[in-house]
Amino acid sequence: MKIANGDITFRIDPFSARYMFARSLSRVSLLVPASILCGLIGMTLAGCQPTDVKAPTDEVSDTPVVASKIPLRVWIVAPLTEPDLLQRQWLASSEQPLELRSLTALELLQESQCQCDVLIYPANLMGELIERSWIVKLPSGVLQENDSGSGDTEHSTTPATWLAQAAYGGEVKGLSLGCSVPVFVASNALAESHSAGSWESLLAQLQIEANESPQFSFEAADVSPDALVDRFFAIVASLSDRDPGYGMLFDLQSMQARLTDPEYRRAAGIMAALASQPKGLASILGSHSLAWTWAASHETPALAIAAPTLLDKPAAALATGGIVSIKWDSAERESTSPSADALAERPQIAWWSTGAGLVASQSSQCRQTNQANACLRWLVDPAMRGVLATLLPGVEAGAPKGSGEALSWIAEQGLAQSITVKGLSLEPRLPSTHLYRQTLADELQQFLSGKKNAEQALQAAAQRWDEITRNIGSAQRRNYEKSLNL
């Protein structure tokens, strides 16, 4: 190649070793400053980020957890009455800073991300959280010995129902802090004369009748939608002959809602009958605490449905009233008319979890794995659970919250001795559970107000449920199976 410069002509061989070496030097001179600049930027950014943050992992360190300067973020999807007390309890055993946030289920679901390390939430949200990839599989080392979710509960230190509630598709996703199950709480006058019996005899004792076309007057502010749905499902469980392990709300093959089946219609009529008790409407529409207090304090025969783990302190401390059970009667169970052999294999008493029992999981955005695992173990410690039970609804204490004579404690002990995994329905806890429950709550209010009869309200709820299922798509069937731990 010739390059003219005035009277001088240069000849350059582009393939000569000397020329190639010169070109390489010019490239290095440009690259070195760029690489130094990138390194300086990287070091600056790194200095702004936590240096002791670790991503979620299934490994659990055997070495003592060292407190970091970065607060451990704990979100609690439940009303926390005394956050300062919970902070003090934690700091009594750890130097790790704790950042607490209490929020409602609706507030959680409105978040775009789950920016916490530990999430404590109602069990019925598990399917939704898994669908959003907000929680991860529980690290195996966090589980107590023999509590691996494998089904071997003979030597387990955790109740089998708790293990089932903390699993999804057979995979353990968290640690259960309690299983919230409604009971039939009666006034002293009713409990003394009717400790167990069929719905027919119980309603006769209360001098009320099932009604599929009630007309009650009430305001929306008087209604606790979740408690209303909890009571309805509790009645259904006492009537249905279906095996809870294979689903009571949807057909496993078609995913069609079962809300139009006979036991649901009958449950609506019984619920209306209970609402017709003197001043009894509030016991059907109101909170668990309100219903419990009304029945336990009533001087004449009265019956309400409430979960002992969801009571406020005054209601939990009541030592009056009693618990009655609904006697299993095959003549009353008309939904599927199963054979005698099939009935013999099914539980004679079915229970329905409210799904409000709390579960603690590691968040998928956890930035301090070891500290989060230490927090999970701390939460399920029996002594700590006793404290949590006084601060959060949905936690079962290992000892009475107040007096050992309190009816709520007697009810919890009775449930612990009688409930089995086979006889407990944990549904719904598949994705969009909040939509299914809200739809049913709306239609039950339409029914109780007289705007629709039982058949019309349940048909409308079933149609809306089927619509929700179709909008989610075919994956909802597998979600349902996983929610049943199939």
Average confidence (pLDDT) over 273-287:
95
Average confidence (pLDDT) over 103-131:
97
Pairing, β 8-11 against β 2-5: antiparallel
Residues 4-50 have pLDDT tens digits of 444 444 444 444 444 344 444 444 343 334 444 444 444 443 333 44
Of residues 64 and 172, more confidence is placed in 172
Whole-number percent of the chain with pLDDT over 90 = 67
Q: What is the secondary structure of 277-313 as a DSSP string?
A: STT-HHHHHS-HHHHHHHHHH-SSS-EEEE-GGG--H
Residues 320-360 have pLDDT tens digits of 999 998 875 544 444 444 444 444 444 445 799 999 999 99
Average confidence (pLDDT) over 171-185:
95
**Exposure b/e, 157-175, CB count within 10 A at least 16 = b:** ebbbbbbbbbbbeeebbbb
**In degrees, to the nearest 5, what angle opens at C-alpha 266 toward C-alphas 261 and 267?**
100
The pLDDT score that the predictor gives to residue 421 is: 87
Q: What share of the chain is helix, strand, coil (3-state, %, to 5)?
A: 45, 10, 45
Of 56-60, 155-159, 160-164, 304-308, where does mean pLDDT reach its minimum? 56-60
Tell me the pTM: 0.82
Average confidence (pLDDT) over 297-303:
95
- The answer to whether residue 373 scores a pLDDT higher than 60 is yes
Which residues have a Cβ under 8 Å from the Cβ of 146 and sit 6 or more positions away?
A: 152, 153, 155, 156, 157
Give the pLDDT band (50/70/90) at residue 388: very high
Most confident option among 10-19, 33-42, 408-417, 461-470:
461-470
The pLDDT score that the predictor gives to residue 420 is: 87
Strand partners, 352: 425
In the chain, where the domains are located: 72-179+357-391, 183-354+403-472
Architecture, CATH, for domain 72-179+357-391: 3-Layer(aba) Sandwich (3.40)
The pLDDT score that the predictor gives to residue 185 is: 96
Half-sphere exposure of 177 (CA within 13 A, CB side): 34
Residues 196-253 have pLDDT tens digits of 788 999 999 999 999 999 999 999 999 999 999 999 999 999 999 888 989 999 999 9
Give the pLDDT band (50/70/90) at residue 144: low
The pLDDT score that the predictor gives to residue 271 is: 97
Average pLDDT, the chain: 84
Q: Provide the greatest CA pair distance for the chain.
A: 126
Which residues have a Cβ under 8 Å from the Cβ of 119 and sit 6 or more positions away?
A: 74, 75, 77, 129, 134, 135, 360, 361, 362, 363
- The answer to whether residue 117 scores a pLDDT higher than 90 is yes
The pLDDT score that the predictor gives to residue 428 is: 96
The pLDDT score that the predictor gives to residue 411 is: 93
Which residues have a Cβ under 8 Å from the Cβ of 103 and sit 6 or more positions away?
A: 75, 76, 77
Centroid of chain to Cα 69: 31
Whole-number percent of the chain with pLDDT over 70 = 78
The pLDDT score that the predictor gives to residue 401 is: 61
How many Cβ atoms from other residues are within 10 Å of residue 403's Cβ? 13
Q: Do residues 260 and 462 make contact, with C-beta atoms less than 8 angstroms apart?
A: yes
The pLDDT score that the predictor gives to residue 405 is: 87
> What is the spatial distance between Cα 420 and Cα 408, in angstroms, rounded to a whole number?
20
Of residues 167 and 27, more confidence is placed in 167
> Is-same-fold flag (72-179+357-391; 183-354+403-472)?
yes
The pLDDT score that the predictor gives to residue 35 is: 47
Superfamily covering domain 183-354+403-472: Periplasmic binding protein-like II (3.40.190.10)
The pLDDT score that the predictor gives to residue 468 is: 98
Residues 81-106 have pLDDT tens digits of 899 999 999 999 899 999 999 999 99
> What is the spatial distance between Cα 183 and Cα 243, in angstroms, rounded to a whole number?
19
The pLDDT score that the predictor gives to residue 36 is: 42
Half-sphere exposure of 255 (CA within 13 A, CB side): 20
Give the pLDDT band (50/70/90) at residue 156: low
- The answer to whether residue 127 scores a pLDDT higher than 50 is yes
> What is the spatial distance between Cα 56 and Cα 411, in angstroms, rounded to a whole number?
38
